[in-house]
Amino acid sequence: MGTKRILQHFHTTAEDYTIIFTSGCTAALKLVAEAFPWIPEGTKQPSSRFCYLTDSHTSVVGMRGITASMNVLSVPIKPKEIFLSEKNVLPAEEQNCMTPHLFSYPAQSNFSGTRYPLSWIQDIKSGKLCPIKIPGKWFVLLDAASYVSSSPLDLGVHQADFIPISFYKIFGFPTGLGALLVNNRIAPLLRKTYFGGGTAAAYLTGEDFYFPRKSIAERFEDGTASFLDIVALKHGFDVLEKLTGGMEKINQHTFALAHYTYTVLSTLKYANGAPVVRIYSDTDFSSPDVQGPIINFNVLDENGEVIGFSQ
């Protein structure tokens, strides 16, 4: 019942996505890094590439430690030149190469609240947009943990391959429980090396024999899942709907608060006309399509110097 309710919240079904419960978004990202079918350098096949937007969460950047045997590329925050250049678009025959590559970007920046286009998902997967011109098939990891805390995400339309989330960011409880939503088209390609309690259908201690559980979720959920917290999720989603009317209303409300706060902070001036705050944002908070309800700023003195935390 829990998995069905989660999939319903994200407007998809078990036909398209599998839910793997984790301890949080970070554990979900680590799982992707460990299980993605990377092709290392030094093989006959072209090696895999791991690319990520520079405006990514620490846990996404940390994936490059596991992918050290591949080439890693960080894409600038404003990626027009490298990311949207038509010279990077791959010919159809090169897209048929079997080498898998992974591109990760946040639906919403943890730093500034900037929202990046969900349309990139299909554009990257189809080869219309390429972070780097290289033969192979691109898969997309959408870091949605910050975005889904205050906005609806329709996976029926925006079908990313991997979506890590943390439930406490959606409704505060339970902590220590997250999930990785995996598109079923790539799920069979994921590689499992370590097997913990409950993930093996059969194994031998004296021989190198191991047969994984058939279900993708059971195969990757090592040990005992926090089943009491999983039961609590249904009640969390039910209360969320009852109290607020749904994620779109939360999206509009939180953006209205952020827009008001941004407007007021922007107009605060000292007697000499110097601004009281410096806001770090790529938008003017004009639309929830491009800006989430996060405001990152420093307080300045009348000479324009940053006032430190201790002050």
Is residue 82, in this structure, part of any structural domain at all? yes
Q: Residues 135-172: pLDDT tens digits?
A: 889 999 999 999 999 999 999 999 999 999 999 999 88
Q: Are residues 70 and 174 in the same domain?
A: yes
Q: In what helix (H) or strand (E) does residue 260 lie, and over which residues does it extend?
A: helix 247-267
User: What is the mean predicted confidence (pLDDT) over 194-218?
Assistant: 88
- Whole-angstrom distance, CA of residue 130 vs CA of residue 141: 14
**End position of a domain, from candidates 219, 238, 257:** 238
Choice between 223 and 139, residue whose per-residue pLDDT is larger: 139
Is residue 311, in this structure, part of any structural domain at all? no
Q: Are residues 79 and 228 in the same domain?
A: yes
- Whole-angstrom distance, CA of residue 181 vs CA of residue 104: 14
Q: Is 211 exposed, middle or buried (0-12, 13-18, 19+ CB in 10 A)?
A: exposed
SS3 265: helix
Q: Residues 87-127: pLDDT tens digits?
A: 556 565 555 568 899 999 999 999 999 999 999 999 999 88
pLDDT at 221 over 60: yes
CATH of residue 109's domain is 3.40.640.10
pLDDT class of 292 with cuts at 50, 70, 90? very high
Q: Are residues 144 and 287 in the same domain?
A: no
pTM, rounded to two decimals: 0.91
Q: Are residues 83 and 133 in the same domain?
A: yes
Q: Nearest 10 degrees: CA dihedral of 12, 18, 19, 22?
A: -150
DSSP string, 139-161: EEEEE-TTGGGTS---TTTS--S
Q: Are residues 287 and 139 in the same domain?
A: no
Strand-pair partners of 21: 179
**End position of a domain, from candidates 221, 238, 255:** 238
SS3 286: coil
Q: Are residues 149 and 289 in the same domain?
A: no
Per cent of the chain over pLDDT 90 is 68
Is residue 11, in this structure, part of any structural domain at all? yes
- Per the structure, the count of domains in the chain is 2
- Range of the structural domain that residue 251 is part of: 247-299
